[in-house]
Amino acid sequence: MGSKRIMTSSSNTTKKRIIFCDFDGTITVNDNIVAIIRHFNPPGWEAIANKVIGQEISIRDGVGQMFRLLPSLMQKEVVEFGITNAKIREGFADLLAYCKEADIEFYVTSGGIEFFVYPILEPFGIPQDHIYCNGSDFSGEQIEITWPHPCDGHCTNDCGMCKTTIMRRFPANEYERILIGDSVTDFEGAKLADTVFSRSILTEKCRELGLPHFEFQDFHDIIKQLKLA
Ligand SMILES: [Mg+2]
Ligand SMILES: [Zn+2]
């Protein structure tokens, strides 16, 4: 393909398309954090999860609290379960191929944790500096999640891995910012994005806020829509 720039449908200016794609429940069929916690089932996790969904506590606080319920001695089992349990959503490799062909930048912006995000994405050849997620520390008694990509001064949401902070590095006058996501970690980014592809709770949130969005089941739906616009 000769053309490096893509016309956006909304204006006459040429903007470069950039995708910010969630991981848990988006690239993977299920939410890996929820699956891990549910599998090991430490007492008290459900109340914490419900507070995160209900936005009573921040995502960072909630995820940190849930993993602190698990002893670091379980590292091997937790990591192994996180990796082997995940299933990739249909069409993901095709979306990556389409992005290459159409010169769309592709970033993974994940509220997940590096010990499962990196190994699961390994076969897809995404450069590591295009993957943003949280870290982990197994050196104490309990598992401690670490947060190398916190909110900048523009975000007061205490995201943990702050998607809007990453998105702001790609100015709106130069980029058509496209967000793909499913849940509570995508709410703030969806408000900032030019285009939102949503499923699940993110769809409900977009309806509630009156944000335009395209619902998707798998990545083929997204490729189809990207080709149209
Ligand atoms: Mg998600
Ligand atoms: Zn934030």
Ligand 1 centre distance from Cα of residue 10 (Å): 27
Ligand 2 centre distance from Cα of residue 73 (Å): 31
Ligand 1 centre distance from Cα of residue 93 (Å): 18
Ligand 1 centre distance from Cα of residue 148 (Å): 18
Ligand number with the minimum distance to the CA of 157:
2
Residue given tokens 């401690």 in the structure block: 144
Cβ contacts of 73 within 8 Å, gap of 6 or more: none
Q: Classify 6-228 by CATH class.
A: alpha beta
Ligand number with the minimum distance to the CA of 201:
1
Residue 11 has pLDDT above 70, yes or no: no
Residue given tokens 């590292």 in the structure block: 75
pLDDT grade, residue 2 (50/70/90)? very low
Q: Is the pTM of this model over 0.75?
A: yes
> How far is CA 144 from each of CA 57, 61, 80, 149, 167, rounded to the nearest angstrom?
18, 11, 17, 15, 26
Among the residue ranges 9-13, 84-88, 197-201, the one predicted with the least confidence is: 9-13
Ligand 2 centre distance from Cα of residue 149 (Å): 9
pLDDT at res. 12: 47
Ligand 1 centre distance from Cα of residue 136 (Å): 18
Give dist(CA 35, CA 195) in Å, integer.
29
Residue 53 has pLDDT above 90, yes or no: no
Give dist(CA 171, CA 104) in Å, integer.
15
Residue 9 has pLDDT above 60, yes or no: no
Mean pLDDT on 165-185: 96
pLDDT at res. 14: 86
pLDDT grade, residue 13 (50/70/90)? low
Residue 143 has pLDDT above 90, yes or no: yes
Ligand number with the minimum distance to the CA of 151:
2
In one-letter notation, the amino acid at residue 217 is Q
pLDDT at res. 186: 94
pLDDT digits (tens, 9 = 90+) for 82-103: 999 999 999 999 999 999 999 9
Residue 8 has pLDDT above 50, yes or no: no
**DSSP code, position 185:** G
Q: What per-residue string of b and e applies to 126-147 under the rule 16 or more CB within 10 Å gives b?
A: beeeebbbbebebeeeebebeb
Q: Which residue from 145, 136, 23 is spatially nearest to 87, judged by alpha carbons?
A: 23
